[in-house]
Amino acid sequence: ASEPEAVDGKADAWVTQRHNPEADWVVVRLGSSGTISGFDIDTRGLDGEHASVVSIQGCLVADGAAVDSNGNIDGVEWDELLPEVDLAANSHHLLALWTATATPYSHVRLTLHPDGGVARLRILGTVVANPSAEGEIDLASVTAGARVVQVSDEKLGRKENLILPGRATSASRETQGWKTCRSREDNHSDWAIVRLGEPGFLTRIEIDTLFFDGDQPVSAAVHACYTEMENPARDSECFWYQIVPRTELNGNRLHKIEVTLNDVPFSHIKLVIHPDGGVGRLRAFGQRVKEIEEEAAREKAEAAAEAALAAEIGADLSAQSTDSEAAAAAAAGQPAAAASAASSPKAASKAASKQTTPVAKKHAPTVRADQKDDAERKKAKKTDKLAVRKRTKSKGASDSREATDDDQFSSRAGELIQSLTSPLPQRKRARTRSRVEDDTDEASVATADSQAKRIHRKPKSRSTTAHPQ
């Protein structure tokens, strides 16, 4: 019951035993995750059995988390939401926080110091989508943070019933759905605008008419838009797209309709019924824009990490290949730079760009050992021939000088003998002749010497410049 009432003389409340050495506690899983702004602690019907001091903690965990005997959850730390406060008997306590919590919570723990009873506990706040939810979810559900911002009529059924979790039940007629009054006008229609929990890409719409058999609408259509405002009616630039055409509805049935315009994000949907009637639940399934963006960013980061890893592995393999080829080249007597350039085109182009012309001339020819020995033998043979030629020329020059000296000595001796034996005129002529011959002999000796020296003289290069005659 919404209000605590005594049943058979017993309080409609949670009451613990007395004289406990430790504090009593209870863990409550909230109907939806959300931020918390206040608490409603009710002790009505408890006079003398109420808890005198209480405190409240909160945490955010996935559904199905196990609670141990001490009120703790493995790997989870409880945040203090409400410090210890005093409670009065048979009273209604409304406690508001100065500011709403920045983070959402899914579980709260009420602690009694040390024991006592509490009739009702209500947590006040704003529902937000569960951050752990993935894939296709009902973005129009109250558990995802959706809200019905405006309707044309709700006299026979509250608008909030449209987005409640689960299907309608016969146990509570108040929560069976949204229902409008009968219309007496032609072309009449009623409508309800729902703000989705988060903007998303819609894939399917569900219209449930359970418990509405005979008073369901004749037909319905669904429109959608995107705006950052709470109510699209206040956005003059908001444009509504028809994502579900006008479709006939049957009573007491769940209608599933696929959305073809699923590549455009939407923040609000509008259910339009013709002409009036009741609808139990309205659901809009899709994927959150934030999740898709996070998934794209995650894929991009993974791709970048894989590319970096591949580049690192490639660099290591290239370095290992270069080292192995350098070792093989060293063993074969080939320069390591040539082996590296031959193995990697990139390294070859880099080496070619850095290599200069003298280095290219120096390392371009490849001389074998036998060719080198032949060249050295030819060079030594040529050197020996030149030495023999020089010795031959020097010997010929010395022989010619010796022959000239002998001839000169013999001619002078003959002239001396002849001058001693010949008469005076002949002697005079002999002297004259001898002087002439001496001059001639001296000239011949000079000529021989000059010829001998001319053998060693290097020829002068002729000048290409023409001299005047």
- Largest interatomic CA distance in the chain: 197
Hey, what amino acid is at 62? A
pLDDT reported for residue 443? 46
Mention every residue, 6+ apart, whose C-beta is less than 8 A from residue 73: 59, 61, 65, 66, 67, 107
Burial of 180 (0-12, 13-18, 19+ CB in 10 A): buried
pLDDT reported for residue 453? 44
Question: Can you say how many angstroms the Cα of residue 263 is from the centroid of all Cα atoms in its chain?
Answer: 25
Q: Quickly count: other Cβ atoms within 10 Å of residue 246's Cβ.
A: 12
Tokens 């509570």 correspond to what residue? 172
Distance of alpha carbon 162 from alpha carbon 191, whole angstroms: 12
Tokens encoding 339: 């082996």
DSSP single-letter state for residue 176: S
pLDDT reported for residue 463? 43
Could you tell me the fold of the domain covering 14-127? Answer: Jelly Rolls (2.60.120)
Domains 14-127 and 137-287 share a fold: yes
Q: Quickly count: other Cβ atoms within 10 Å of residue 131's Cβ.
A: 14
Question: Can you say how many angstroms the Cα of residue 3 is from the centroid of all Cα atoms in its chain?
Answer: 57
- Pairing type for strands 117-118 and 14-15 reads antiparallel
Distance of alpha carbon 65 from alpha carbon 132, whole angstroms: 13
Asked whether 267 and 228 are in contact (CB, 8 A), the reply is yes
pLDDT (tens digit, 9 = 90+) per residue, 452-464? 444 444 444 444 4
Asked whether 141 and 283 are in contact (CB, 8 A), the reply is yes
DSSP single-letter state for residue 73: B
DSSP 404-419: HHHHHHHHHHHHHHHH
Distance of alpha carbon 203 from alpha carbon 384, whole angstroms: 102
pLDDT reported for residue 117? 92
Tokens encoding 359: 């280095």
DSSP 98-151: SS--SS-EEEEEEEEES--EESEEEEEEEE---TT--SSEETTSGGGT-EEEEE
Asked whether 343 and 365 are in contact (CB, 8 A), the reply is no
Mention every residue, 6+ apart, whose C-beta is less than 8 A from residue 421: none
Question: Can you say how many angstroms the Cα of residue 357 is from the centroid of all Cα atoms in its chain?
Answer: 43
pLDDT reported for residue 276? 95
Q: Where are the domains of the chain?
A: 14-127, 137-287, 292-351, 404-437
**Phi/psi at 343 (5° precision):** -80, -30
137-287 CATH pick, 3.30.390.50, 2.60.120.260, 3.30.1360.230, 3.40.50.12160: 2.60.120.260
Q: What is the pLDDT along the chain (469 residues), one digit of tens a residue?
A: 467 766 666 778 888 888 877 889 999 999 888 999 999 999 988 888 899 999 999 998 877 677 777 777 877 889 999 999 999 998 989 999 999 999 999 999 999 998 899 999 999 999 887 766 778 899 999 988 899 999 999 999 999 999 998 898 877 778 889 999 999 888 999 999 999 999 999 999 999 999 999 999 999 999 999 999 999 999 989 999 999 999 999 999 999 999 989 889 999 999 999 999 999 999 999 999 887 777 778 788 888 888 888 888 878 777 777 777 777 777 776 554 454 445 454 444 544 454 444 444 444 444 455 555 666 676 666 666 666 555 655 555 555 555 555 555 555 556 655 555 555 444 444 444 444 445 444 444 444 444 444 444 444 444 444 444 4
Distance of alpha carbon 453 from alpha carbon 446, whole angstroms: 10
**Phi/psi at 299 (5° precision):** -65, -40
3-state secondary structure 235-261: CCCCCCEEEEEEEECCCCCEEEEECCC
pLDDT reported for residue 291? 79
